[in-house]
Amino acid sequence: MTEPKDIVLKESEEVEGTPIEGPWLDDVSSIEEVLDYYERIGFQATHLGKAIEIWKKVEKRRAEGKEVRVFLGYTSNIISSGLRELVAWLVKEGKVDVIVTTAGGIEEDFIKTLKPFILGDWNVNDALMREKGINRIGNIFVPNDRYIEFEKYMIPFFERVLEMEKERGKPLTASEFIYEMGRYMDEKLGKEKEKSVIYWAYKRNVPIFCPAITDGSIGDMLYFFKEERGDRELIIDIANDIVKLNNLAVTAKETASIILGGSLPKHAIINANLFRGGTDYAIYITTAIPWDGSLSGAPPSEGVSWGKIRAKADYVEIWADATLVFPVLVWKVMKG
């Protein structure tokens, strides 16, 4: 019979590896020195540390003249928040080559150049908010006058797009439509456009793909435009964009996929990479869980089973709110 002491104090094998250790505050004098400990702290901090290492490797290879095409995907709440300015900066500085987002990721970027979103609260009377015409995204308030102002710009823009399509004899793809939005912003808007993702994507010729472009206020404005004019000619082509997006993956020597959130942007990017045998580098930041079988919660290793991420790829998933960790990640990679 095994003695209780032998059960509790079972002999173990030696384990080699990195000792778990955090910063001793007497020994550090800056946040950068604290961040240097992240890989050794454990749990999600270690995952953030690995993400920093992966993205730095991508940046190093690009600095050496190696082609690593960077795909950035994000859901609309990223643009709703103050992460919008970080994304715009990355585009401005040439750190991103391809973007995939949702309709909200397009329209909210434009709207913020007109009027800001306002910090509110999580605990409010939503029925009263509706009466006051104030929309809520978590603890971010968006008064309806933002959308009223947006319509004033979008209706003339649709008229411009319709004329362009008549002249060229075919519809614009969604990515071309967004590019023209950037041109329109450059012509019509003031200094605030310089913190816009769409504006810098236009200036840097970075394609933005949005397969579900009608799933938001842009769709609402299209509805008003078409119903009021009885229009059936204005069309946004998504079919040819899938060819363009997939070929941007296929023709790249290496790819890196940085994805904030899940849903359509995540799948569009990794599915495009399927056609080249998978992405070479992947960083996921998400709060979605894998247990319901959703794509949003699927970890990178599941992508390996589909061939969307290479088996030997450098990848990591950070399970955290992107507003907490993405600023740290960008700062440490780009400035740290």
CB-CB contact of 275 with 268 (8 Å): no
- Tell me the HSE value of 43 on the side-chain side, using a 13 A CA sphere: 2
Q: Is 56 a catalytic residue?
A: no
Residues 269, 207: Cα–Cα separation, whole Å:
13
DSSP classification of residue 214: T
Which residue, 99, 104, 102, 101, is CA-closest to 117?
Answer: 104
Q: Under a CB-based contact definition with an 8 Å cutoff, are residues 135 and 203 in contact?
A: no
Pick the closest to residue 256 from 85, 67, 86 (CA basis): 67
**Rounded-to-5 percentages of helix, strand, coil across the chain:** 55, 15, 30
* Angle between helix 322-334 and 83-92 (nearest 10): 30
Give the Cα separation of 317 and 320 in Å (integer). 9
Which residue of the set 308, 312, 332, 335 is catalytic? 308
Question: Which are the contacts of 329, defined by CB distance < 8 A and separation ≥ 6?
Answer: 48, 51, 52, 55, 283, 285
Token pair belonging to 129:
């908010």
* 132/149 Cα distance (integer angstroms): 17
Strand partners, 257: 71, 282
Q: Which residues are catalytic?
A: 308
